[in-house]
């Protein structure tokens, strides 16, 4: 049985949660009163992961409490199922009763910042500590130049392959430390496999979640020079990815259906029009079961594939639609609530749960994700060789965070629906334009152009004006 995609479980923004998060934007400045001097409890909320992950998190909390017992500081951690987690946060925010610290899936950060529910972490994370985090985690948690969230682990997607099946078809794979195949080379390899009577590829299109489509296939767009959404910011034209958040406006019209994106996704569509992608909904792991030669999948399958394939297992970067490779990333991360009774106290927990030895190592051993701190890789020697070494290399070089926009929930739903239709033969340009219109209507209806709130740290009045910039780094 295929392991669940544990770190892609986007806590779906239900209609209730979206409405509540919109409402709390106007009230989130009202904080609970500071705790009494003798109250030294840090309230923490976490999503409920697999049982091994939950046990590891409880052990981290117990160790934290033991280490701080002499100071009278302790953490109380509560777990909630993924399917109700975002709504739980929204209800607590509306009641101004958020915990001091909570975790969230990466694409939700911008929405929470937009609602005024997260406090910046910059005062609590020094430069040396910040530099030890993977750049993808810093990108994921940075909104408008401020750091709001940090994770203990990250995720990766690669193209696994069976050496013997490729050799049987005369296909020569690129080395894992290369830029990978171009899209034309990838299609040619699929064609040779098909001609040799070998099913080329598993894409897991049977996945019922929208998030797999956006997470796994956005690199097709990025590598072709495109993007999914653009964000207007007030920070000027500094280098790096454009921020989203409470002082930003988003635009997809003329962006999602760009010429570059149409070309890239027309190439992706050929995987289906030429019958290169397996579509068996019964078998969740056709690659592991020897039915296909290649598997477009994530780090969570590495251990299973190694056990089943042994030396036959190879790995390469995802094929690229343009000159530069691209890869996805992102996972659950921690933030300090803007309602926190004592942010300095809350930061003690955040630093502990993302500490290489006390946080990263135990949680990664439990959930099998990619360590989020560079110094933590020393505890995982498997990252010296493929496939694990490719996970790390991508996260340090070519991986990009998903769009950091308050409208991510709408974006991922509409983009995933468009990809499903494109895989079934829909006209690429027309279907992307339809998705553009649907997303832009939501943005316009929810007041994306509203003036941003005053920022006391800037000392300004909150007017919004700036050029449009893309949400991904060049």
Q: Are 77 and 58 in contact (CB under 8 A)?
A: yes
Q: Are 118 and 177 in contact (CB under 8 A)?
A: no
Q: Quick one: pLDDT at residue 455? A: 41
Q: Quick one: pLDDT at residue 145? A: 95
312 with 377, same domain: the answer is no
Q: Quick one: pLDDT at residue 110? A: 95
Q: Are 8 and 209 in contact (CB under 8 A)?
A: yes
315 with 338, same domain: the answer is no
Question: Residue 385 domain-assigned?
Answer: yes
- Among 352, 324, 279, smallest CA distance to 473 is for 324
Distance, CA of 135 to chain centre: 13
- Give every CB contact of residue 250 below 8 A, 6+ residues apart in sequence: 229, 230, 231, 232, 244, 405, 406, 407, 443, 448
369 with 444, same domain: the answer is no
- Give CA–CA dist 5/160, Å, rounded: 16
- Give CA–CA dist 418/265, Å, rounded: 10
Question: Residue 341 domain-assigned?
Answer: yes
- Among 193, 195, 186, smallest CA distance to 224 is for 186
Question: Residue 429 domain-assigned?
Answer: yes
- Give CA–CA dist 26/34, Å, rounded: 21
Q: What is the pTM of this model?
A: 0.86
- The partner residues of 328 in beta bridges, in order of sequence, read 400
| HEC per residue, the chain | CCCCCCCCCCCCCCHHHHHHHHHHCCCCCCCCCCCCCCCCEEEEEEECCCHHHHHHHHHHHHHHHHHCHHHCCEEEEEEECHHHHHHHHHHHHHCCCCCCEEEEEHHHHHHHHHCCCEECCCCCCCHHHHHHECHHHHHHHEECCEECCECCEECCEEEEEEHHHHHHCCCCCCCCCCCCCEHHHHHHHHHHHHHCCCCCEECCCCCCCHHHHHHHHHHHHHHCCCCCCEEECCCCCCCCCCCCCCCCEEECCCCCCCHHHHHHHHHHHHHHHCCCEECCCCCCCCCCCCCCCEEEEEHHHHHHHHHHHHHHEEEECCCECCCCCCEECCCEEEEEECCCCCHHHHHHHHHHHCCHHHHHHHHHHHHCCEECEHHHHHHCHHHHCCCHHHHHHHHHHCEECCCCCCCHHHHHHHHHHHHHHHHCCCCHHHHHHHHHHHHHHHHHHCCCCCCCCCCCCCCCCCCCCCCEEECCCC
149 with 60, same domain: the answer is yes
Question: Residue 1 domain-assigned?
Answer: no
Q: Are 278 and 352 in contact (CB under 8 A)?
A: no
**β-sheet with 101-105: strand ranges across:** 74-80, 41-47, 101-105, 332-337, 118-119
- Among 18, 145, 24, smallest CA distance to 455 is for 145
Burial class (CB in 10 A: 0-12, 13-18, 19+), 71: exposed
203 with 68, same domain: the answer is no
Question: Residue 71 domain-assigned?
Answer: yes
**What's the CATH code of the domain at 84?**
3.40.190.10
Number of domains forming the structure of the chain: 2
Q: Quick one: pLDDT at residue 449? A: 44
356 with 310, same domain: the answer is no
Question: Residue 20 domain-assigned?
Answer: no
In the Cβ-directed half-sphere of 68, how many Cα atoms lie within 13 Å? 18
176 with 308, same domain: the answer is yes
Q: Are 259 and 224 in contact (CB under 8 A)?
A: no
State the Rg of the chain over Cα: 22
75 with 135, same domain: the answer is yes
Q: Quick one: pLDDT at residue 231? A: 81
164 with 306, same domain: the answer is yes
Question: Residue 382 domain-assigned?
Answer: yes
Q: Which domain holds residue 389?
A: 40-155+331-401
284 with 317, same domain: the answer is yes
Residue 72 φ/ψ, nearest 5 degrees: 70, 25
- The partner residues of 251 in beta bridges, in order of sequence, read 230
317 with 426, same domain: the answer is yes
Question: Residue 288 domain-assigned?
Answer: yes
Q: Quick one: pLDDT at residue 244? A: 39
385 with 429, same domain: the answer is no
Q: Quick one: pLDDT at residue 232? A: 60
Average pLDDT by consecutive 10-residue portion of the chain (474 residues)? Answer: 43 47 47 54 95 97 97 96 88 93 96 95 97 98 97 98 98 94 98 98 85 97 97 40 48 95 98 90 85 97 97 98 96 97 97 98 98 99 98 98 95 97 98 98 75 38 28 30
């Amino acid at each position: 049985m295929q392991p669940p995609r544990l770190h892609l479980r986007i806590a779906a923004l239900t209609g209730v949660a979206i409405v509540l998060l919109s409402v709390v934007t106007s009230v989130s400045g009202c904080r609970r009163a500071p705790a009494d001097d003798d109250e030294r409890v840090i309230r923490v909320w976490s999503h409920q992961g697999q049982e091994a992950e939950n046990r590891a998190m409880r052990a981290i909390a117990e160790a934290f409490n033991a280490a701080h017992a002499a100071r009278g500081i302790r953490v109380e951690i509560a777990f909630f199922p993924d399917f109700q987690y975002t709504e739980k946060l929204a209800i607590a925010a509306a009641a101004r009763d958020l915990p001091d610290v909570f975790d969230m899936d990466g694409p939700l950060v911008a929405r929470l910042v937009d609602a005024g529910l997260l406090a910046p972490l910059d005062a609590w994370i020094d430069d040396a500590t910040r530099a030890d985090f993977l750049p993808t985690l810093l990108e994921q948690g940075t909104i408008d130049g401020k750091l709001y969230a940090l994770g203990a682990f990250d995720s990766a997607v690669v193209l696994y392959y069976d050496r013997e099946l490729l050799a049987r078809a005369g296909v020569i794979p690129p080395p894992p430390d290369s830029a990978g195949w171009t899209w034309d080379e990838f299609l040619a390899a699929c064609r040779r496999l098909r001609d040799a009577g070998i099913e080329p590829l598993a894409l897991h299109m049977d996945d019922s979640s929208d998030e797999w489509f956006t997470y796994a296939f956005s690199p097709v767009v990025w590598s072709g020079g495109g993007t999914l959404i653009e964000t207007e910011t007030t920070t000027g034209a500094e280098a790096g990815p454009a921020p989203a958040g409470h002082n930003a406006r988003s635009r997809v019209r003329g962006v999602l259906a760009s010429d570059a994106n149409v070309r890239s996704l027309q190439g992706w569509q050929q995987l289906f029009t030429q019958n290169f992608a397996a579509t068996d909904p019964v078998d969740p792991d056709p690659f592991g079961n020897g039915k296909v030669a290649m598997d477009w999948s994530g780090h969570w399958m590495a251990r299973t594939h190694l056990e089943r394939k042994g030396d036959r297992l190879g790995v390469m970067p995802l094929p690229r639609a343009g000159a530069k490779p691209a890869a996805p990333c992102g996972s659950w991360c921690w933030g300090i609530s803007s309602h926190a009774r004592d942010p300095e106290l809350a930061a003690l927990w955040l630093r502990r749960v993302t500490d290489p030895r006390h946080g990263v190592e135990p949680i990664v051993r439990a959930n099998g994700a990619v360590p989020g701190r560079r110094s933590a890789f020393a505890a995982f020697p498997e990252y010296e060789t493929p496939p694990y070494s490719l996970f790390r290399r991508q996260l340090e070089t070519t991986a990009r965070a998903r769009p950091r926009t308050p409208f991510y929930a709408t974006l991922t739903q509409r983009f995933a629906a468009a990809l499903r239709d494109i895989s079934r033969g829909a006209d690429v340009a027309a279907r992307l334009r339809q998705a553009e219109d649907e997303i832009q209507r939501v943005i316009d209806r929810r007041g994306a152009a509203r003036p941003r709130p005053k920022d006391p740290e800037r000392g300004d009045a909150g007017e919004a004006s700036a050029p449009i910039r893309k949400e991904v780094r060049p």
